[in-house]
Structure 1
Amino acid sequence: MEFDAVLLPPRRAHSIAQGLWHDRTINDALDACVAACPDKLALTALRVETGELRRFTYRELGDVADRLALGLARLGIGRNDVVAMQLPNWWQFTALYLACSRIGAVLNPLMPIFRERELTFMLNHGEARLLVVPKVFRGFDHEAMARALKPAVPSLQHIVVVDGEGPDAFDTLLAGHDAQRGSDAAGILSRHRPGPDDITQLLYTSGTTGEPKGVMHSANTLMANIIPYAERLGLGQHDVVLMASPMAHQTGFMYGLMMPIMLRASAVLQDTWEPRRVAELVRAEGASFTMASTPFLTDLTKAVRESGQPVPSLKTFLCAGAPIPGPLVEQARSVLGTKIVSAWGMTENGAVTLIRLDDPDELAFSTDGCPLPGVELKVVDSDGKELPAGQVGNLLVRSCSNFGGYLKRPQLNGTDADGWFDTGDRARMDANGYIRISGRSKDVIIRGGENIPVLEVEALLYRHPAVAQVAIVAYADERLGERACAIVVPKPGQQLDFEGMVAFLKEQRIALQYIPERLVVREAMPATPTGKVQKFRLREMLNDGSL
């Protein structure tokens, strides 16, 4: 695979000179942990359904990474090969990324909710050579799906199954490589290690094109975000980071997988969100920090309040993905005794803005924070002219952690010659540099922190024989922030009900979370004189109850 990360070379000299890029990789960080604190607990991973709890010291984690790297090499995986992985927050996720980094392979995390439609596109676009899946997760047979779609992905040579059996089992990949522990093992593990500007992560995100885009990141871009992020939050080697947000999202990957290793701290992973178990883990493991979307904070606060058992070790809960209601901040502070930090970011940059630990609690629900070091922001009008404080406009970011570009789609990179990236979001900035996201120019709904690719779902509904016109818009939800509603104008003489819409979309094999949770049938859409549907009017009508 050739990676067209055209946004990296022009930034290198400046980023190094300013101390924003550190020219280190996750290999350097892991090797330092193994040398300095080999017997420290590095990783604890809980499978909620089975109750299985696995623990690894840094010495053990380094050994597992090396063994997996040798197994990958035996399968012919090498430098710049894409290894796709559709795993929940299991220890195998962390180990596989570290193994790929040993041999210069590029990890492509895929959300476990994805089904044939999303996976076939992403695997083909990224030219994945190997796919790692769970045999079964949350009652779904991922192995059967992977084997069924393999013929449609010519580049895909191997499928490896966690909890599987036989030669394709993950345990087979991990074991049976003692022979390679011989003379050539050291060479395999060191010969093709990536440099800090090589692509190490390929992560797909939904946008206005209606198809996912492959975001390319290097160690320098990822670490340029993680280091100031940890510093602002006062995190260090004595912290225990709990991550129940998916590591196949940038949130879990950067701050649940990479950050603890970079800090020589400890990570605790939970594979499915179950708030009572989260509270138990916080108490049992002494977790001091976690990051998740607003619904997770609501759930954890409720679980702790109902149990009557405090979580005194939890110092900080960083909340992103949706605005935090003021009453929730007050409740969480009272019940959890935890500092609530609001933040905003993107797959392309990681976290961009955070409030500070010494900021008043009010800023957690009235703003989305101020820029991290190495980040510049400006709010501009439609002509690109910078707007004064307090006015809403298009939000641009120039950041040391800006991605390397979209794989095979440099025309969509959205970054000008001066390095300003168009986020596609609208925001206002106050006189102190704190921003508030006010809307999205991108046609994406964020449901509980999960982006719903609106244009793709609309395109599928247009295939339904009863649909003449469709628009999918967000409506407010107290817990998830937003849910999706499909507004449909049927063809003359045709009818469509909610059950029929859901059945049709399930037949298209899209992720269940992408299916709209409401259906409104209308005779016509509000539109401009040129016929363009006015989605803002539909949103207003939904939220004021007139639809």
Structure 2
Amino acid sequence: MEFDAVLLPPRREHSVARGWWPERTINDALDAALAAWPDKVALTAVSTATGQTTSLTYAALADAAERLALGLLRRGVGRGDVVACQLPNGWPFAVTYLACARIGAVLNPLMHIFRERELSFMLRHGEAKVFLVPKQFRGFDHAAMARALQRELAALRHVIVVGEAATQESFDAVLMAGEPAATDAERAQMQASRARPDDVMQLMYTSGTTGEPKGVMHSANTTFSNIEAYAQRMRLGRDDVILMGSPLAHQTGFMYGLMMPIVLGASAVMLDVWDPATAVGLIQAHGVTFTMASTPFLADLTKAVAASGETVPSLRAFLCAGAPIPGPVVEKARKVLGAKIVSAWGMTENGAVTLTRLDDDDARASTTDGCPLPGVELRVVDAQDRDLPTGETGRLLVRSCSNFGGYLKRAQWNGTDEAGWFDTGDMAWLDATGYVRIAGRSKDVIIRGGENIPVVEIEALLYRHPAIETVAIVAYPDERLGERACAVVVPRPGQSVDLPALTGFLASHKVARQYWPERLEVREALPTTPTGKIQKFKLREMLQTGE
């Protein structure tokens, strides 16, 4: 397949000259780790359904990658072919990615929640030749769905099933295709096909909350430039143990739970279904030093540790991304876990862009979304692309060494000007020290009678209300003012919330009346992505339809 990653060539010379693009691939990282620490545990994967734990050394991981690569090669998969996978966190996912890199194939990770509607579009658009799925995951028959989809997709040659041993298209059968051993011709072909630093190595679809999903293309250079700067900011190295409970099919899990440990020669611990009690046990058993997830994961882990009386002394830092972290969550987590809480902001298109620093005051994590990593520049502009003064909210533009190569077959949507500035679609403001605060997606901004409501700040304040567990503020249409604000609230167990109590709380904190929500919806739960980010577009739909 031909990839139109048109955003990569114009910035190659500059990025290499500045040292931002390291000219390395995951093959180079795995080969280096294998040579230096063959017997070191590379990853430990836990299945919550079976309770099974699988550990692979770097030697075993490299061997499995080579064998799966050969199995794929013998099934006609080669350089530039797309291999899609809908696998949960675990060693088969890791081996699949590494095998693709061995033969120059492109991995297309797909979230396990996707069903026929989303998958039929993504698999067809990406021209996937292979689709790897679990036989079953969380009670759903992925194998049956994948085979039904295969009948409709001309490009999809193979459906490979993990956990099914009876067919030639099972994962085990493909993995064991390394016997007999590779011929000289096959070894030469694999060596020649290996992914290069500027090749598209990952195709990852955005959530598609408005219109069709977009296929984000990344190379080794764009991802490595981000991972190395991120690891340096977090002071991570080969002695660290990294826990990943966020899905590997999301950029958070893929870059920092799968790629980063190999880049560092560190160890990864992968959890397929988030369970805070299990996470506590894994941190203790494996000496986990770092993890990254969204705010609900942090709140869950804090609650589990507090309730159990256990401690997690090895955990040095918990990085939160996906949405601003409420101050009370940071304060409680810092006290209970003892770990530094770091806030970050990023996108599928560029990985993590801004992070707070480990030496920052704890309040930075709840009042900002960090400052740029090396190789990253930020601008906040108005509707005419004019730079705004410090403290004023506008559109956030990013120019970064980790920016993506473009949207597959949709270059007209790349949102990047000739100077390399990418329009993130987020609203934000910068403080005097260069730290950024995300004010929400541009479509999430509420404009009441011409006045912008500072949604993020009001939400952060409401998280301090003793009866509120979770809150999101979204717009609903109003004939006179255009929009008004509605607070959608999940109360704490045993508590209740009404609108007078909510507005009275804001009044006691001297919040301007124009910023008060004028409607309250109480729910048992809010719709979220698999990584825990609240889906405000669904809340807006609920308000409009009266559901």
Q: 348-357 vs 198-207, which deviates more?
A: 198-207
1:245 and 1:292 in contact (8 A); partners too: yes
Aligned to 2:32: 32
One-letter amino acid matched to 2:50: T
Q: Is the Cα contact below 8 Å between 1:70 and 1:188 reproduced in 2?
A: no
Instruction: Tell me the residue number matched to 1:114.
Output: 114
Matched, 1:396 2:397: yes
List per-residue Cα deviations over 1:13-43 (Å, max 9, x = no partner): 0001100001000000000011111111101
Is contact 2:70-2:177 (8 Å) kept?
A: no
Q: 1:207·1:442 contact (CA, 8 Å) conserved in 2?
A: no
Verify the 8 A CA contact 1:208 1:443 in the aligned structure 2: no
Matches within 5 A, 1:10-25: 10-25=10-25
- Note closer, same or farther for the CA distance 1:141–1:338 as it changes in structure 2 (3 Å cut): same
What are the superposed Cα offsets for residues 478-528 of structure 1, whole Å, 9 maximum, x if unpaired?
A: 699xxxxxxxxxxxxxxxxxxxxxxxxxxxxxxxx99947844679xxxxx
Q: Which residue of 2 aligns with 1:196?
A: 197
179-188 or 278-287, which deviates more? 179-188
Q: How does 1:149-298 map to 2 (within 5 A)?
A: 149-164=149-164, 165-207=166-208, 209-298=210-299
Once the 2 structures are TM-superposed, how far is the Cα of residue 183 of structure 1 from its aligned partner? 2.8
Aligned residues: 470
Which residue in the other structure is 1:345 paired with?
Answer: 346
Q: Find the residue that maps to 1:152 and give its secondary structure.
A: coil
- Identify if the C-alpha distance between structure 1 residues 39 and 202 changes in structure 2 by more than 3 Å, giving closer, same or farther: same
The C-alpha deviation readout for 1:408-459, integer Å capped at 9, x for no partner, is 000000000000000000000001000111121247999xxxxxxx9xxxxx
Q: Residues 515 and 374 (structure 1 numbering): CA distance in 2 closer, same or farther, change over 3 Å?
A: closer
Pairing 1:32-181 to 2, within 5 Å after superposition: 32-164=32-164, 165-181=166-182
For residues 232 and 311 of structure 1, do their structure 2 counterparts lie closer, same or farther at Cα, with a shift above 3 Å needed? Answer: same
Cα separation, partners in 2 of 1:112 and 1:236, compared to 1, 3 Å: same
Calculate the TM-score normalised by the size of structure 2. Answer: 0.83
Alpha-carbon deviations, 1:92-118, whole Å to 9, x = none?
000000000000000000000000000
2: distance between equivalents of 1:143 and 1:357? 44
Number of the residue aligned with 1:459: none
Deviation at 1:194? 1.5
**Residues 1:427 and 1:443: Cα distance change in structure 2 (over 3 Å):** closer
- Which residue of the partner structure matches residue 359 of structure 1? 360
Of the structure 1 ranges 206-215 and 295-304, higher mean CA displacement relative to structure 2 is found in: 206-215
Deviations 1:136-168 (A, max 9, x none): 000000011111111221110100000013111
CA separation of 1:60 and 1:326: change in aligned 2, threshold 3 A: same
Shift of 1:184: 3.3
Letter of the structure 1 residue corresponding to residue 36 of structure 2: A
What secondary structure does 1:6 align onto?
Answer: coil
In the other structure, the counterpart of 2:328 is: 327
Would the aligned equivalents of 1:294 and 1:479 in 2 still touch at CA under 8 Å? no
Verify the 8 A CA contact 1:106 1:199 in the aligned structure 2: yes
Query: Structure 2 matches for 1:346-425, cutoff 5 A?
Result: 346-425=347-426
Point out the more displaced range, 384-393 or 162-171: 162-171
AA in 1 matched with 2:378: L
Quote the sequence identity (%): 63
Q: CA deviation at 1:208?
A: 6.8
SS in structure 1 opposite 2:114?
Answer: coil
The amino acid across from 2:64 in the alignment is V
Is the contact made by 1:207 and 1:443 (CA closer than 8 Å) also made in structure 2? no
Change (3 A) 1:261 1:436: same
Where 1:257 maps in the other structure, the secondary structure is helix
1:189, CA displacement in angstroms? 2.8
Q: Is the 8 A contact 1:345 1:351 kept in 2?
A: yes
Cα distance between partner residues in 1 of 2:393 and 2:536:
29
- Structure 1 stretch 207-216 or stretch 21-30: which is displaced more? 207-216
| Aligned-partner Cα distance in 2 for 1:476–1:221 | 38
More moved, 337-346 vs 323-332: 323-332
- Letter paired with 2:233: R
> Comparing 47-56 with 180-189, which one deviates more in the overlay?
180-189
**Counterpart residue number, 2:310:** 309
Verify the 8 A CA contact 2:67 2:177 in the aligned structure 1. no
SS at 1:258 equivalent: helix
Q: Give 1:187 shift.
A: 1.6
Partners of 1:175 and 1:514 lie apart in 2 by 45
Helix, strand or coil at the partner of 1:191: helix
SS at match of 1:184: helix
Deviation digits for residues 209-251 of structure 1 (CA, Å, limit 9, x no counterpart): 5110000000000001000000000000000000000000000
Q: Distance in 2 between matches of 1:291 and 1:6?
A: 31
Return the alpha-carbon distance in structure 1 between the equivalents of residues 251 and 545 of structure 2.
38
Does the aligned pair in 2 maintain the 1:214–1:406 contact within 8 Å? yes
SS class of match (1:101)? helix
Aligned to 2:465: none
State the shift of 1:476 in Å: 4.5
What does residue range 466-505 of structure 1 map to in structure 2 within 5 Å?
Answer: 476=488
Q: Report the Cα offset of residue 180 of structure 1.
A: 3.5
- Report the Cα offset of residue 474 of structure 1: 8.6
1:359-407, Cα deviation, whole Å (9 max, x unpaired): 0000000000000000000100000000010000000000000000000
Moved over 6 A (4+): 443-446
Change over 3 Å in CA distance of 1:153–1:344 after alignment to 2: same
State the match for 2:527 in structure 1: none
Is the CA contact 2:45–2:271 (under 8 Å) kept in the aligned structure 1?
Answer: yes
8 Å Cα contact 1:73/1:188 also seen in 2: no
1:48 maps to a residue whose letter is T
Q: Classify the secondary structure of the residue corresponding to 2:168.
A: helix
Q: TM-score, normalised by structure 1?
A: 0.83
Given that 2:68 and 2:177 are in contact with CA atoms closer than 8 Å, whether structure 1 keeps it comes out as: no
